[in-house]
Structure 1
Amino acid sequence: MKKSDYKIHIIGAGVSGLIAAQILENHGYSPIIIESSKTVGGRVKSDVVNNYILDHGFQVLLSAYPAAKKYLNYESLDLQELLPGATIYKEGKSQSIGDPLRSFSLLFPTLFSTIGHFSDKLKILKLNSILKKKKTAEIFKEKEKTTLQYLQDFGFSEDIINNFFKPFFTGIFLEPNLETSSRMFEFVYKMFGDGLAVIPKEGIQAIPNQLKNNLKKTTFKFNQKVKEVLDTKIILSDNSEIKSHITIIATEASQLISNLKNQETEWKSCNTLYFETNTKQINKALIGLIADKDALINNIFYPTSVATASKGNKELLSVTVVKDHDLNETELIETVQKDLEKYCSISNTTFLKCYQIKKALPKLSNLQYEISSTETKLKSTIFLAGDQLLNGSLNAAMIAGERAALGVIQTLEDGLIVDELTSEYQ
């Protein structure tokens, strides 16, 4: 069979599936992507509401991600840089802190900040130095402990843990108690130190859009929900069948494969709400962290503090809620607006949209950075991709997609299943 004759299906047009398609194209194959929604992106999506770009959740790209540097054209994404720091709200007051070595404007605010002790600031410099020298592969071989335990063992005070590390990494890990693996903490901290947090000018969906536009021989089938994946066919929700030589499942596979039903991935969730405001409370491109333990809201950001491709008439404010709650949408909006006024002195907000993101990040243990192409093979004709195989990040999604595609290519080019598949199709 010619390479172009193989029916290789990819389920899911998220970042992992798009990378898998690119690798297959690079090797002469013409994959078919089946996507249940109407656009690419998976969990990396944006909408335009009232001329504002609303990302599905407050999301940033860490420019130091090795896989992102490999697969994305940063220049054409027109990446907007966030300052390496944060504005911290506590008891009605705000202070800005950050890395003065990379942003001089944060030097004096950080030096005179009452967040943490002087010894904490020295320990941050020490941690920066350690992780700068540490290779990523080493990080993922370290014994796992919780991020909270890691910070305590490093000697940080409860003051800086509660008022900086907890609110900052709660927004990244999407859990409020810093139970996430210390491997993930070290990796993310290192990525922040080696690069910057950036947002494409056209919103976070510009990333999967760029990956899609790079594909020349891939067929897309949107608005098609998959019900089950069998060895040589895919069954859609309307019970129609698609013959497939090989299938890559680039989304959670447990609901699609009968013998994986008991291996369902656990997910972390969050709410992100968007408001229009007349003015910005934070005038720099800094994230705002709410350190009051009684607050429901965790972090705020003004997307209009950086250049955006589409900008409404006023300012756009995003608010992230990570803590568990049982509020309906109306109650949630009211509570968030009260929190904004009480803790951040932000009033006169006009609600735009609320995203309830039930599957925001996979909840994982024994986090890994790498996976071999053979480890992505579930069966001879079914391969797995997605960040849930490694760790919850765009970087992991790209690596997993690449490895799954390489596993498919190796299987086909080694002739391991060609005879079996060819006879199935005759």
Structure 2
Amino acid sequence: MKNEKTIHIIGAGVSGLAAAITLNRAGYKATVLESSDQVGGRLKTDHVDGQIFDHGFQVLLESYPAVDEFLSLQQLDVTRFSPGSYIFNEGKKSKLGDASRDRSFLMPTVLSGVGSLKDKWKVFSLSRKLKQKSLQDIFAAPETTTQKYLEDYGFSTKIIEQFFRPFYAGIFLESELSTSSRMFEFIFKMFAVGAATLPKGGIQSVAQQMSEGLSDDQLRLNAQVQEVVGETITLQDDSTLQSDFTIIAAAAGNIVPNLPKDDIKWKKTTNVYFKTDHDGFGEPIIGLVANKQSLINNFHFMHDVYSGHEKVLSVTVVGDHGLDDDQLASRLREELKKEVDIKVGEPLKVYHVNKALPDLESVNYSMPATETQLTENIYLAGDILSNGSLNAAILNGKAAAQAVISKIEDGVLM
């Protein structure tokens, strides 16, 4: 290793881990400081009696460019979701999906009452168009809201309300479809060319696999950083570390003096796991509730995803609901029975994720390495710099590391 410079990374989420891996590959050894007792950042999974409970429903899109570079889907032993969903609306159940990837979706999609045949043709044409559109062109396009984008493309109100709104509300964590059209095109393209997946060990396995590429002495857990000034890192216990270069893959405003405090807006979600006697759908697939008055956005059966898992239903609620856990569970039980005719028991777990996704008005694909430098010694990473995705988090960690490498080797940023 090239040890002439001391490098620290603050935060052991996927962005910080990607930075450490990138430095390792270039022959530089960095120490990762993580305030909690585990890696993953916002990727969290609880294991209870052999059962898996992710903190919020998150999937790994196998088509993310960062996946091939930093992860092994084979070693993660991922389950791939079917390329479609069941949509529940006014007592009716419809199956809608991408027949180009799974021909079993063809007739159910054509015959479903979700949108007109014209709408379904437009979905196909949009898929074909975005498969051919480069990521560079997607993120260089003028931005509008997803709602306006869909309207301008000619989709009917019916398919927007019954499919696009519930489906993308679960991804963007907002039901108004106010998210940037760039993000819509990016996610649509990712779904069109690859599957949504979940690792066998839960979503936190993504970060755990990345951390396996680091040596034991590169990762310091329970290391809370109080302040970063120049080449000095002060920990919560007032001890200090000297650092030639520091990459902050966390909220920099909380630890760098004279920066605005962490005023980033965050999108919220609540994830509730229920016991159930329902056998499930018989395949890993998402259920959507199209009723805008319903708190339920999406749900899936854990035993459809994980072989041997107990019969458990995962339900996602987007945004604020103002209910305590008992009130929320009662409301969701009523909605599940009314909207989808599923009976559930008591909740096993309730997770309130207050910082699920950064709420960004404008998005970019990833930060150029030249734009990650904050000061002479400090560099920034994280998805908050670009867009709320695992792909952006990983690539921004890589970019910050590349900037440090360039500074060391060339004396200037690339």
| TM-score, normalising length: structure 2 | 0.96
SS at match of 2:119: helix
Structure 1 equivalent of residue 279 of structure 2 = 280
Q: Distance in 2 between matches of 1:169 and 1:291?
A: 11
Match of 1:329 in 2: 325
- Cα offset for 1:316? 1.9
* Deviation for aligned residue 1:262: 5.1
Per the alignment, residue 420 of structure 1 pairs with: none
Contact 1:49 1:352 in 2 (8 A): no
Cα distance in structure 2, aligned partners of 1:342 and 1:218 = 54
1:2-401 matched pairs, under 5 angstroms: 3-216=2-215, 219-261=218-260, 264-308=263-307, 311-312=308-309, 314-401=310-397
The one-letter amino acid of 2:360's match is L
Distance 1:44 1:364, change over 3 A: same
Once the two structures are TM-superposed, the CA of residue 85 in structure 1 deviates from its matched residue by 0.3
Displacement of 1:317? 1.2
Query: What is the distance in 2 between the residues matched to 1:255 and 1:14?
Result: 17
CA positional deviation for 1:348: 3.2
CA contact (8 A) 2:272 2:315 kept: yes
Give distance in 1, aligned partners of 2:257 and 2:81: 44
Q: Is the 8 A contact 1:25 1:218 kept in 2?
A: no
**Shift of residue 240, structure 1, vs aligned partner:** 2.5
Deviation at 1:218, TM superposition (A): 5.3
Q: Give me the whole-angstrom Cα distance separating, in 2, the residues matched to 1:217 and 1:44.
A: 21
Moved more, 249-258 or 215-224: 215-224
Q: Measure, in 2, the Cα distance between the counterparts of 1:330 and 1:251.
A: 33
Deviates more, 1:167-176 or 1:295-304: 295-304
1:324-382 deviation per Cα after TM superposition (whole angstroms, max 9, x unaligned): 22112221222222221121111132311111111111111221113221200000100
Distance of 2:186 and 2:152 partners within structure 1: 17
User: In the alignment, is the contact (CA less than 8 A) between 1:296 and 1:323 conserved in 2?
Assistant: no
Deviates more, 1:315-324 or 1:189-198: 315-324
Identity %: 45
| Range that drifts further, 50-59 or 188-197 | 50-59
CA distance in 2, matches of 1:103, 1:233: 55
| Inter-partner Cα distance in structure 2 for 1:25 and 1:275 | 43
Stretch of structure 1 that moved more, 29-38 or 137-146: 29-38
1:33-65 CA deviation, whole Å, 9 max, x = no partner? 111111111111211124211111111111111
Measured in 2, the distance between the counterparts of 1:342 and 1:192 equals 30
1:11-41 deviation digits (Å, cap 9, x = unpaired) = 1000000010011111222211111111111
Does structure 1 conserve the Cα–Cα contact (< 8 Å) formed by 2:251 and 2:262? no
Question: Whole-Å Cα distance in 2 between the matches of residues 357 and 126 of structure 1?
Answer: 36
User: Is there any run of 5+ residues in structure 2 with no aligned partner, and where?
Assistant: none
- AA paired with 1:178? L
Say which is worse superposed, 159-168 or 55-64, in terms of deviation: 55-64
Residues 298-320 of structure 1: CA deviation (Å, up to 9, x unaligned): 11011221235xx44x3121110
Query: Structure 1: how far apart are the matches of 2:149 and 2:372?
Result: 31
Kindly provide the amino acid, as one letter, of the partner of residue 53 in structure 1: I
Which SS does the other structure have where 2:188 is aligned?
helix
TM-score, L = length of structure 1: 0.93
Distance, in Å, in 1 between the alignment partners of 2:215 and 2:48 is: 31
**Structure 2 counterpart of 1:395, one-letter code:** N
Structure 2 Cα separation of the partners of residues 339 and 231 of structure 1: 54
Return structure 1 stretches of 4+ with deviation > 4 angstroms. none
State the secondary structure of the residue aligned to 2:254: coil
SS at match of 2:186: helix
Question: How many equivalent residue pairs?
Answer: 413
